[in-house]
Structure 1
Amino acid sequence: MLLPRKLLQWRRPTQTAQFLAGRFLRSSPSFSDSDDDPPFTRIPKRPPRAPSTPPPPPPKPKASVGKIRPDEPAHSDLPFDFRYSYSETDPAWRPIGFREPIRFSPFGPGRLDRPWDGTAAARVGEGDGGGERSREEVLGKPLSEEEVAALVEKYRHSDCSRQINLGKGGVTHNMLDDIHNHWKRAEAVRIKCLGVPTLDMDNICFHLEDKTGGKVIYRNINVIILYRGRNYDPQRRPTIPLMLWKPLAPIYPRLVPNVAEGLTFEETKELRNRGLNSPPLTKLTRNGVYVNVVDKVREAFKTVEVVRLDCSHVGTSDCKKIGVKLRDLVPCVPILFKDEQIILWRGKVHQEHSVSAQCSSTPQ
């Protein structure tokens, strides 16, 4: 049985409690309806204090980008046609096609006053014929042996800061500008040659002297020191417009025919098989130094008819370039490029020369 809950008697607040509550309300600040917003943060009455750090300056306007097509095309008085490579191409080679439209000049649209024909930018007008005399004036008095020795000792070391690396492109057009840039602060520049161009170092020296106007004062294996001349003035250096990109190589006729000239198909096949089964004369490495390869091939052709060169890891493109240079320098006939192997045949012309030499040396 539930008993009735006893109700507690309500007590009236005492006079002391009412006095304390009234005193607290009188001391607290009065809030109006406009600035009392319980659900949100109270709006401050004073404005925010200014930051101590100054505001960042306004951004500068962007510099105007240079025009792709200048108002006037550049002009150069250099007395030769502009090509991508001077030492690795021959003006006598006639391409049978192009891999890109010839209207796209590697110098940029409207940036050169020489028309581009796919392989070269021919000079406009005739030369004045004084290029050789001006080169002699720039070179000045020949260097003495002591001066040459001092320059060689200064620039021949591998840690020389005035060095240009010459690769498989050979003497390229933009390299001419690099050489003149070094000549601003140095009397000579060290050129280190690697790859296919080292097969013919004489050709490299000729084009360096012919295109820059300098003089080769030192040559050791694949290292060349090019001297600028006594009277060289950097302020009067020639204008060399730069190529903006490397043009695609044209399409040339096939290097190796199915049947070698002067032979039948069976004889050509037999020579190719004999070359593949023969030991390699030498092994070429990628970006190596091939200075002695021509002499080795000429010496080998005195005893054998077919020579094999092992070009593993050299690359198909470099193999064909090596074959073209050996064809002209030895001379010989490339009859096969397969699996980075080059098979060279000395040809019937070599045999005829050797037979005639033996006949002339034999006493009657």
Structure 2
Amino acid sequence: MSNDLTSIPCVLMRGGTSKGPFFLASDLPADPALRDRLLLEVMGSGHPLQIDGIGGGNALTSKVAIVDRPSRSDADVDYLFAQVKVEQRVVDTSPNCGNMLAAVGPYAIEKGLVAGRHPRTEVRIHNVNTGKIILATVETPGGQVAYRGDTRIAGAPGSAAPVRLAFLDAAGARTGRLLPSGNAQEEIDGVAVSLIDCAIPMVMMRALDMGVRGDESPAELNANRALMERMEAIRIEAGARMGIAEAGGKVIPKPVLLSAPRHGGQLQVRYFMPHHCHTALAITGGVGIATAAVTPGTLANTFVGCVDLPVGITLEHPSGALDVGLSRRSDDAPVVASVVRTARRLFEGCVFATSPFSTEARQWTSAA
């Protein structure tokens, strides 16, 4: 092997409908700026195909998970999510990703950070991005992670073993409040919106109010430049009202178009990341939308009506549907949102960088 390349151990994993490399924090630079510089290089960002890196040229395949030993006593591991932009050399750690989250438990068990138990193992994951705890239940017959199974999820081919995720208290993930502006509904640019912060900050709009039906394909919505430009302007103003500074340079808040269900669910949604429509639905988005659906006065609630917990909310999206279970342990307890995902280990090895980074010292050499 050439000695002018730097190797960093990583595992490529699919989590839900996303995929990307998983790293141990100890194998990356401790300084966030240096860490992000390395991630941009290994992912190949700055080129639409990420041709000089391992990114897949799409927001769903340009994601990174960084896993570490826990920094708090009520967690088993820390998980930092990084959205690495494709054409821009930008790393955004402001959001969480619930799909990549599905692979954190299996990764942590196989890395020896959590001991596997028969027949399944619970992993308490501290999402560093939001400061929230998510409980992942992983199938581990004989104490070993099982990937094969009969569970199917919309947006991913085939079947696999289930990974159950329970978001124990997702409200106020970034702003500290479920309704950051204090309003269930308000108006931006003549459009009724609901500003929600649950698992991830979002700005919800009725599709009809934006001049579309809401059942269009992602490609059709992405090609509607007038829609995308108006939605971006609303998103930036929504960010300001939610206390998210300079939202134009961030991937939050996420825009969401709501419409009436067509296939027996409670709500049809189109979720944006934020400048492309998701081909399915982000798990964090699903958790937030479902919670909004049972929050009186929100736009999502106007489609669903009055419901009592526990309840299941089915969200229709471009690839099928996502079922979100909502419950409370008591009347004044936080809402617990539960979803089922799958994950798969794709390959394990080393990714190579040309920058002279020392994994032993976790720093760049003087030649950097």
- TM-score, length basis structure 2: 0.24
Q: Structure with the greater relative contact order (CA < 8 A, sep ≥ 6): 1 or 2?
A: 2
Q: Give 1 or 2 for the bigger CA radius of gyration.
A: 1
The structure that is helix-richer by fraction is: 1
The structure that is strand-richer by fraction is: 2
- TM-score, length basis structure 1: 0.24
